[in-house]
Structure 1
Amino acid sequence: MTAKKPAHPLIPADRVNGTDVVNTAGEKLGKIEDVAIEKVSGDVAYAILSFGGLLGIGAKYHPVPWKLLKYDPDKRAYVVPMSRDDLQHAPMIDEKELSGWTDAQTRDSIYGFYSSYGVGPYWG
C-alpha cells in the first residue's frame, strides 16, 4: 500500500510548531515547540518536542533528530518510533536553551541516545 502524500510537500516552520507528535501506537507524546536548523547547511537538525506539563508549565523539552520524525497526513501528526517511557529517558534541554546551543557534548549525547533508532547525526 502506498502512503498518502500531503497536499503540499513543503511547510513553513511556523506551521510545524504546534503539530502533534505521536508514537507508532497512536499515543500522543507531545507537540513540536520549535525546530533547530543548522545555520550553514540549512539542514533541519532537531524538532524540539514539548512533553508533559500543563499549559506550558512544567513541560520538558526534548531535541529529537528531525530524521526520526515521519509525517502522517491521516493523523495530521509526526510519528516517532518511541514509547512514552523512551521519551522520558531521552536527552532534554532547558527552556532557556530553546534558542540554540553550541555544546558539542550535548549534541553528541543526543545522537548517542537516538543512534539505537538508526538515526545518525545531521552533520554526518
Structure 2
Amino acid sequence: MTPVSETSRNVISSERVEGTTVYAANGDKLGTIDDLMIDKVSGQVCYAVLEFGGFLGIGTDRYPVPWSMLDYDTTREGYVVPLDKPTLDGAPRYAKDEVRDYDPDYRNNINSYYGVGPL
C-alpha cells in the first residue's frame, strides 16, 4: 500500500464534505453541508450550501455560504464559520426543493450579505 502524503490529506472528495457538520465559532451546530457549488471555469468551490431546519427534509432551507468563510477544525471533524444562528437566519436562502440559479445577481447578493468580494 502506498503511504498517503501530507499534501494529499488536504484534498477531499465532495462526497465526504457533504453531510459534514458546520459550527459557529462558539461551538453551536449551525447545520450540515448539503452541496458544494463549483465555478465551471476555474474549478474552484464557491459556496458550501448549508442545510438546517425542517423535519425529515420537509421545510428544510438551504443557505449558500462562501467557501472562503469555512475553516476545517480537526478536533470537531467539521467546519467552523465566523457566523452565529441569527446571522445565518437572515442570510439568502431557498427551499430544498427549489432549483436555484446562481446568476451574477444572486451571487452578488450572497457575497454582499457576508461581506466578501467576488468569488
Q: Which runs of 4+ in 1 moved over 6 A?
A: none
Identity %: 44
Give the equivalent residue in structure 2 for 1:14. Answer: 15
Give the equivalent residue in structure 2 for 1:77. Answer: 78
How far residue 101 of structure 1 moved from its aligned partner, in angstroms, is: 1.7
How far residue 56 of structure 1 moved from its aligned partner, in angstroms, is: 1.6
Whole-angstrom CA distance in 1 between matches of 2:64 and 2:102: 13
SS of match in other structure, 2:10: coil
- Normalising by structure 2, report the TM-score: 0.87
Q: Which runs of 5+ in 1 are unaligned?
A: none
- Normalising by structure 1, report the TM-score: 0.84
Whole-angstrom CA distance in 2 between matches of 1:104 and 1:39: 14
The correspondence of residues 1-124 of structure 1 with structure 2, limited to 5 A, is 8-95=9-96, 96-97=98-99, 101-115=101-115, 119-122=116-119
User: Is the CA contact 2:59–2:95 (under 8 Å) kept in the aligned structure 1?
Assistant: no
How far residue 59 of structure 1 moved from its aligned partner, in angstroms, is: 1.1
Whole-angstrom CA distance in 1 between matches of 2:102 and 2:30: 27
RMSD of equivalent CA atoms: 1.8
User: Is the CA contact 2:34–2:50 (under 8 Å) kept in the aligned structure 1?
Assistant: yes
Whole-angstrom CA distance in 1 between matches of 2:21 and 2:90: 19
User: Is the CA contact 2:60–2:95 (under 8 Å) kept in the aligned structure 1?
Assistant: no
